[in-house]
Structure 1
Amino acid sequence: MTEHLELQHLVDMSTGSGDESIPNLLENKRPLIKRCPYIGLILATLSSLFFSLCSVIVKSLVNIDPMQLAMFRFIGVFLPTVPVVIYTEQPIFPKDKRILLVLRSIVGTVGLMLSFYAFRNMPLADASVIVFSVPVFVALFARVFLKEPCGIWNTISIVLTLVGVILITHPPFLFGNTAIESNQNYNNFKGAIAAFVSTIFGANAYVLLRVLKGLHFSVIMTNFGAIAILQTLSYCFILGVLCMPNCGTDRFLVVCLALFSYLGQILLTMSLQLEQAGPVAIARSADIVFAFLWQVMFFNEMPNKFSIFGAVLVLSSVLLVGLRKWALALPADSQLRKKLGALAQ
C-alpha cells in the first residue's frame, strides 16, 4: 500500500514545486491524452488495483513471514530503477543527502513491514483503511518538523480519520466486550497497532521526501530499494524467518508480488505526470474500495457496520485532503476554484 510514498517528490514536481523536471514517459502520447482527458485518473486507479492485489498476496501467503514478503516487494521496486539511474547518469549516493536518504529508507521500510503484519492480523479492508490514511497525517508531521501550516481543514481530516480508525479497530476499553469476533487466526489488537504505527512511519516518510524533493526520483528509489533489501534481509536472518517459498503457487505469487509492485509504481508515476496531485490522491482512494471487494471475494469476510462507517469517515478525510490540494493548485481566477470555495482558502 505504501509505494505512492516513494513518489511524493513527483507530486511536488508535477505541481511545479520541484527543482528539476521529470522526463515525461508519455511524451509521444499527446493525441491519446486529448482523446481521453481522464487518462491520468484511470492510470491512478489501475495503480490502486495493483497495489491492492499486492495486499491480497501478502495476506494469502501465510507460510512466508511478512518481513520476507516485504523484501521480495523491495526487490521488485529496486531492480527496475537501477537502469533508470544509470541511464540518467544521476549521482547514486550524493554526499549532502546521504543521512536523509538512509533515514528515509529506514522509515519507509519499517512502515511497509508493519503494514504487512497488519494485513496478516486483521481483515484486509480494515487494515487497508488504516494504512491508507497516511496522507491525512502528513500535515501534522509537516507542522512539527517542517513548520508548515496546519489549518482547520487538515485538523478536521485528522479528527475524522482518528474516529474512523477507532470504529474500525473497535477497542474493548471503549466498546466493552461487544467487539465483533472475526477469524480466530486474527489478532485485531496487534494488527491495529501495527497498522497505526505503519501510518505514523509512512507520514514521516512523506515529510522526508519533501526535504529530498530536489533529487531525481530514480536516486531516491534506488537508495530506498537497496537499503530496504539489506534491512529486511538482516531482520529475516536475525529472527530466523528466511526461507525459500514452496514450489508452485507460493513462488508464483511471490513473483506476482514483485511484478504488481513494479506495475503499480510505474502507473502511479505516469498518472502524476498527466494529472495534478489532488485528483490523483482522490483516485488512489480506490484502494479502500478494492480492499473491501477483495475481502469479500477472496476471504469470504463480510465487513461489519463499524468497519463500514469507519471506512466512510477515513475515505471522506482522504477525499477532503485531495480536493483541497487540487483547489490550491488551481489558478486564482479559475471558476472551479471559486466553486470549491472555502477549500481553496
Structure 2
Amino acid sequence: MRPVDDTGAAKRLESGLPLVDIPPPGSREESAATEVAETPGPGGCWQCPSLPCGSRAEQEAEKKAPCPGLGLFYTLLSAFLFSVGSLFVKKVQDIHAVEISAFRCVFQMLIIIPCLIYRKTGFIGPKGQRIFLLLRGVLGSSAMILLYYAYQSTSLADATVISFSCPVFTSIIACIFLKEKYSPWDAVFTAFTITGVILIVRPPFLFGSEVEETDKDYSVHLKGAFAALVHAVFAAVTLVILRKIGTSVDYMLSIWYYVVAGLTECVIALSILGEWSLPHCGLDRLFLILIGLFGLGGQVFLAKAIQIEKAGLVALMKTMDVVFAFIFQIIFFHDVPSWWTVGGSLCVVASSIGAAVRKWYQSSK
C-alpha cells in the first residue's frame, strides 16, 4: 500500500472523504489473501483468529472433561477391589485379624511417609486438631480390625451387609454432635437398616432357640455379626470426626494418624493375646501383600470417583460391594446365603440407596 503524507490525509478528512487509499494494480490479490488468512474459522473470533474463543472454547472444554460414567466406573472398580481384599482376608484363616491389620498398616506406612515428605505437611498436624486426628486414628483402626474379625468369623455377605449400616449411624451421631438435621426420612432409613441387621443376625430371643440348634456355628456367627455392627458405629464416628476437621488438615496426615494408631493398637493387642506369628505358608504371605494392594487401590479409585462424580451416585454404586460379596461367597466358599440374609440385605441396601437418592435430590435443588 502506498504511504500517504499527513497533509493529504488532513485535506481528505476536512472534505469529508474517507481515509482510504486506492491500491495500486496487483495489490488486490494481496489484500484478498490477507482477508482469507485473517478470516476466523469455526469457533474463532476477529480479535484472535488463531485462538479458540466462544463456542470453540466450550467445545474443547467438553472434550477435556471426563467421559460420562467415568466416576461410576471408578466406584465400581473400587467396590471390586475392596471386595477382593475382603475375600483374601477371609481366605487367610491361620493369621489373626489383628495381625492382618498390622501388616496392612505397615504396608500403608511405607507409602504414606514419602507422600508426607513430598507434600511438606509434617507428621503432627495443627495444634488444635491433634486430638481429633488421634481419635480418628484410634477409632478408624479399631473399625478396620473389627471388620477383619467379622470377615473371618461370619460369612462374607453378612459382614459386608452389616457394615453397610454405617450411613445410618453417621446421621444419628452427626445430629447429636454436629447438630445436623435428622429428618423423618432418616428415621425410616434407620428402621429399614435395623430390620435388615435383625434378619441377618437372627437373635434367639426373637427367632426362638431352634436357630442355635440348626446352626452349629451360630455363636461364632453372632460374634462376627456383632463385630461388624460395632465396626459400623466406629466408622460412623470416624466420618463425623472427619467432617468436624474439614479441610483444615491434609487428608494424607489424617491417613498417617490412622496408620500409626492402628499399628500401635495392633502391636499392643497382639502382645496381650500372644497371637503374633509370621505366616508359614507362602500363599498367606502373598495374600497379605494383596490385601494391602487391593485396599490401597480401592481407596485411590474411590477418591478419584468422588472428585469427578456426585456423592449420591457414588454412594449408589458403592452398594455393589454387597453384590460382589454374595458372588464371591457362592463361588469361592460354596456357601449359598439363606433367605434371611437375602431379606436383610435387601433392607439394608434399600436404606442405603434411599439415603443416597435423598442426598442427591437435595443437592440438585
Which residue does 2:235 correspond to in 1?
A: 202
Matches within 5 A, 1:32-43: 33-34=65-66, 36-43=67-74
Task: Give the 3-state SS of the residue equivalent to 2:81 in structure 1.
Answer: helix
Q: Is the 8 A contact 2:157 2:322 kept in 1?
A: yes
Which residue does 2:14 correspond to in 1?
A: none
**Which of 281, 286, 289 is equivalent to 2:320?**
286
Deviation at 1:274, TM superposition (A): 0.9
**Which of 335, 348, 354 is equivalent to 1:320?**
354
For residues 243 and 316 of structure 1, do their structure 2 counterparts lie closer, same or farther at Cα, with a shift above 3 Å needed? same
Q: Is the 8 A contact 1:33 1:39 kept in 2?
A: no
| Of 86-95 and 44-53, the range deviating more from structure 2 | 86-95
Deviation at 1:183, TM superposition (A): 6.8
Which residue does 1:65 correspond to in 2?
A: 96
Amino acid at match of 1:57: F
Q: Is the 8 A contact 2:158 2:341 kept in 1?
A: yes
Which residue does 2:120 correspond to in 1?
A: 89
Which residue does 1:55 correspond to in 2?
A: 86
Which residue does 1:235 correspond to in 2?
A: 269
CA distance in 2 between partners of 1:101 and 1:303 (Å):
39
Q: Is the 8 A contact 1:114 1:197 kept in 2?
A: yes
CA distance in 2 between partners of 1:30 and 1:113 (Å):
44
Which residue does 1:162 correspond to in 2?
A: 194
Residue 193 (str. 1) matches residue 226 (str. 2)? yes
Amino acid at match of 1:44: T
How large is the RMSD of aligned CA atoms in angstroms? Answer: 1.8
For residues 98 and 308 of structure 1, do their structure 2 counterparts lie closer, same or farther at Cα, with a shift above 3 Å needed? same
Higher relative contact order (CA 8 A, sep 6+): 1
Which residue does 1:77 correspond to in 2?
A: 108
CA distance in 2 between partners of 1:243 and 1:31 (Å):
54
CA distance in 2 between partners of 1:30 and 1:62 (Å):
50
Q: Is the 8 A contact 1:75 1:258 kept in 2?
A: no
TM-score of the superposed pair, with normalisation by structure 2: 0.79
Which residue does 1:295 correspond to in 2?
A: 329
Deviation at 1:234, TM superposition (A): 1.7
| Of 231-240 and 267-276, the range deviating more from structure 2 | 231-240
1:28-54 CA deviation, whole Å, 9 max, x = no partner? x985754x3101011011111111111
Q: Is the 8 A contact 1:80 1:262 kept in 2?
A: no
Which residue does 1:22 correspond to in 2?
A: none
Q: Is the 8 A contact 2:136 2:257 kept in 1?
A: no
CA distance in 1 between partners of 2:335 and 2:216 (Å):
9
Which residue does 1:218 correspond to in 2?
A: 252
Structure 2, unaligned stretches of length 5 or more? 1-60
Which residue does 1:120 correspond to in 2?
A: 152
CA distance in 1 between partners of 2:304 and 2:291 (Å):
20
Which residue does 2:77 correspond to in 1?
A: 46
Which residue does 1:259 correspond to in 2?
A: 293
- Identical columns (%): 34
CA distance in 2 between partners of 1:248 and 1:255 (Å):
11
CA distance in 2 between partners of 1:79 and 1:240 (Å):
26
CA distance in 2 between partners of 1:317 and 1:32 (Å):
36
Larger Rg: 2
Structure 1, unaligned stretches of length 5 or more? 1-28, 333-345
Which residue does 1:26 correspond to in 2?
A: none
CA distance in 1 between partners of 2:151 and 2:96 (Å):
12
Q: Is the 8 A contact 2:71 2:308 kept in 1?
A: yes
Q: Is the 8 A contact 2:305 2:314 kept in 1?
A: yes
TM-score of the superposed pair, with normalisation by structure 1: 0.83
Q: Is the 8 A contact 2:151 2:224 kept in 1?
A: yes
